Amino acid sequence: MYETRIVHATDDDMKDAVREACALLREGEIVALPTETVYGLAADALNPAAVAKVFAAKDRPSFDPLIVHIASRGDLKNVAIVPQDIADSVSKLTAAFWPGPLTLILPKHPDVPDLVTSGLSTVAVRQSAHPVLRAIHKELGRPIAAPSANRFGRISPTSATAVMKELGGRIPLIVDAGACAEGLESTIIAIEARPNKKPVFRLHRAGPITKEQLQEFGKVEKVKEKTGDLPHAPGQLPSHYAPLTPLMLLERPADFKPEPGKKYGLLSYRGEDDSPYVRLHAWARVESLSPGSGKLAEAAIRLFFVMRLLDEAGLDAIIAEPVSETGLGVAIMDRLRRASTSGATHEKRMGHAS
């Protein structure tokens, strides 16, 4: 057990936070850090003992590989080996989207411990745009392995308070730099070359970099999910990002069959009184993703925050309204479907979460 401390960092004053975080990371400790997507639980990616602590603190199964964060595009060669036939794509994608919320799956460099990649021959890599993480990288001079700073299967944290609720007592330090700018985990792709054609990008996880943005550089295809298989991206497990309160994504208002005496909360998109979802029931609580205006970017930023609010509201169930599946809406709907309860997957998840 640790007494978890919070140290604050702002763009103008992050010296103490950077120093403390680097001192712990150098000792092989783990630290929760802000990224532009969600808060991450960081370890020195080249130190297997430190990486093992990340798995332990999160109750993360060892088959679930971590994302490796690098300080600059030049550092890519230290953690991955870029095959010649996709070198041009990697260079175009990293020029367009790094630093930023795009993770590339590439053949791994032998220096990256097997624990980081769960024994896979590939490694997931990205360069974060968060100024605090970038400063820590600069001082540490090592790649950082950092999955989301939540317990396995639970809602990703977009604030230091949320990290404290998930991992308080399990980690020594949280660097608090305020709310995350994107609010959803990075887009994850693998690249496949095709002779005389644009490459194919296999979408392992939808995220802030949208299909529309990627299409300029290649053909985007979803990775087929097979239940029962070991997942390539456990963010892609059927049950993930889950509140403890059962959540149901209600694709059509007519499908709602409330049970008498139960308290239901609505996770609404715009929360307007004239919305068919708001009018459907005398909700015990309504929280909106993008109050009034209905902007997908705002909904993405607020999704996990609002899920947590509803999870803590003492409800019997959370009913989620769908958002339109375009642009960022694809990533939002992906998270809502995985958070949604349906019979067996929920039983299984409750097993994980305990």
Binding site for ligand AMP (CB under 6 A): 64-67, 105, 117, 120, 122-124, 147-148, 185, 188, 204, 232-235
DSSP, residue by residue, 257-298:
-PPTT--EEEEESS--TTSTTGGGS--SEEEESSTTT--HHH
Closest approach of ligand AMP to the CB of residue 105, in Å: 5
21: nearest Cα among 161, 172, 123, 142:
172
| Residue written as token pair 């550089």 | 217
183: left (phi over 0), alpha (psi -120 to 50) or beta: left
Tokens coding 71: 């300080």
Residue 159 makes contact with Mg ion by CB under 5 A = no
Least gap, CB of 63 to ligand AMP (angstroms): 9
Residue closer to ligand AMP (CB basis): 278 or 300? 300
Token pair 């769960």: residue: 118
State in angstroms the smallest separation of the CB of 137 from ligand AMP.
17
Of the two residues 203 and 266, which places its CB atom closer to ligand AMP in the complex? 203
Q: How far is the CB of 112 from ligand AMP (least distance, A)?
A: 10
The C-alpha atoms of residue 292 and residue 41 are separated, in whole angstroms, by 34
Binding partner of residue 123 among ligand AMP, Mg ion, none, CB cut-off 5 to 8 Å per kind? ligand AMP
- Quick note: the x/- pattern for Mg ion over 102-141, rule CB under 5 A, is ----------------------------------------
CB of 301 to Mg ion, least distance (A): 17
- The interface partner of residue 204, options being ligand AMP, Mg ion, none and the CB cut-off 5 to 8 Å by kind, is ligand AMP
CA 39 – CA 51 distance, rounded (Å):
17
